[in-house]
Chain A
Amino acid sequence: MNDLTEDKARSAIAAILRYGSLISTLVMALGLVLILLRGPVSVGSGAHLVSFRTLFPRVIRLDAAGIAELGMLLLLVTPILRIIVAGVTFGLERDYKYVLISLGVLAVVCGSIGLAMR
């Protein structure tokens, strides 16, 4: 793979990193602003992946805490994107050893999500 494609791939990874974190931060900030505009909310409760089902209905209803939580989940997801993009880049470079390694890391992280959902 020539240098130009590699540069493009690097820029792509960097762009995904930048926009991924930016978007998740904006969503979190939006949720927080909504909370403050509507009055204080008790912090106490934690969040569970089990409540994923209720998450999207809450977001659509503009439930502020739901939006903040969505932003947080987006943040958690950005490193996974990072792995995938890196793996794809290695594939484009025909560096299959590292495609496998990336898949391995992805498997561990997905495994942890699986554990979490149990």
Chain B
Amino acid sequence: MDLTWLHLCALVVLGAVAGGIGSLTGIGGGLIITPILTLVFGVPIHQAIGTSLCCVIATSSGAAASYVEHRLSDIRLGMTLELTTTLGAVTGSLVAALLSREALAILFAVFLSYAGSTMARRSFRAEAMETGGMEPYQVKRLPLGLCGSGAAGIISGMLGVGGGIIKVPLMYLAMGVPFKVATATSNFMIGVTAAASAFIYYSRGDVWPLITAPTAVGVYLGAALGARLMRRTPSRWLIVLFSFIMFYFAVIMIWKSFHGGFAR
């Protein structure tokens, strides 16, 4: 496939959408990029995941700066959880190489469905979470958090997602961290998680620079613009729409797996 202006612009737009949604909701970079790269651009799923991981780094770096400045990220907690997350990420990336495209696509679709349903359910509680103040908090159940983060890491390394969908509920619901801090901390750390596995994908040739570079540039722009254009969190119906889109992608990916759509 040749890289033309059209492809380039399409990839930048894709990245911008993913970056925008990712910076606003804390979710969605990898979950949008991989399906579209695979289904629309015809990129094999292992390479799509490689690209997606790099885009996760781009999303994380862009937004993380302002979170740190505003003291929202709990860097200590994040770094602690990263001990297991990065180990999981390395493991996941190694496992991914052993899986066939179809198997990986199905796993991805399953995760998409989980993410879609989580977002749909969460959107109805979003308002309650927004009002949380900056009360001092005590981190609880660290061992559970470490295990959960390990699982999030494996999924990140295997499916090319940031892992925020697991980490934010984990910190907020199980560990007693305020929602905003959980989101900011997760955002700060997913870049580290993605980096832990991205090098392995890169060395396998699973990161195509000419696909990754435009998408990552788009993500950077989208994340920067998104944070600026929309001060408020997106309306709940946008989030529900988004989760329907994810279910749609999940169905298509499963369908394609069973109908040889990913054959070499």
Residues of A participating in the B interface, judged by any CB pair closer than 8 Å: 10-11, 13-15, 17-18, 20-22, 25, 28-29, 31-32, 35-36, 40-50, 65, 68-69, 71-73, 75-80, 82-83, 86, 90, 95, 98, 101-102, 104-105, 108-109, 111-113, 115-118
Q: Which residues on B sit within 8 Å (CB–CB) of A115?
A: 90, 199-200, 203
- Nearest Cβ in chain A — how far from B244, in angstroms? 31
A-B contact pairs, 7 of them (CB 8 A): A72-B54, A76-B195, A112-B86, A112-B200, A116-B199, A116-B202, A116-B203
A65 to B212, CA, bound (A): 11
Choose one: B83, B211, B220; the contact of A108 (CB below 8 Å). Answer: B83
Number of A-B contacts (CB under 8 A): 176
| B residues near A10, Cβ cutoff 8 Å | 68-69, 71
* Tally of chain B residues near chain A (CB < 8 A): 56
- Contact residues in A for B209 (Cβ distance below 8 Å): 31, 47, 65, 68-69, 72
Provide the bound-state CA to CA distance between A81 and B220, in Å: 18
Chain A residue contacts of B5, Cβ below 8 A: 36
Tell me the bound Cα distance from A46 to B209 in angstroms. Answer: 7
Q: How far is the CB of B242 from chain A (nearest CB, A)?
A: 24
A40 touching B2, Cβ below 8 Å: yes
When the two chains form their complex, are residues B205 and A32 in contact, meaning their CB atoms are under 8 A apart? no
| Interchain CA distance A22-B221 in the complex, whole Å | 10
Min C-beta distance of B59 to chain A, whole Å: 9
A11-B213 in contact (CB<8A) = no
Binds A, one of B21-29, B74-82, B106-114: B74-82
B1 touches A42 (CB 8 A): yes
B192–A82 contact, CB under 8 A? yes
Instruction: Give a binary string over B192-221; 1 marks a CB under 8 Å from any A CB, 0 the rest.
Output: 101111111011111111111110110010
When A13-B68, A69-B209, A108-B83 are in contact, do A79 and B57 touch as well, CB less than 8 Å? yes
Report whether A79 and B192 are in contact in the complex, using a CB–CB cutoff of 8 Å: yes
- Report yes or no: B196 in contact with A109, Cβ–Cβ below 8 A: yes
Chain A residues with CB under 8 Å of B216's CB are 25, 28, 72, 75
Q: Closest CB-CB distance, B255 to chain A, in whole Å?
A: 26
Q: Which of B147-198 contact A (CB under 8 A)?
A: 188, 191-192, 194-198
9 smallest A-B Cβ distances: which pairs?
Answer: A46-B205, A21-B61, A116-B203, A79-B195, A40-B2, A17-B65, A28-B213, A69-B209, A108-B86
Q: How far is the CA of A95 from the CA of B86 in the complex (A)?
A: 22
B82 touches A105 (CB 8 A): yes
Given A28-B213, A32-B214 in contact, is the A79-B191 Cβ separation under 8 Å?
Answer: yes
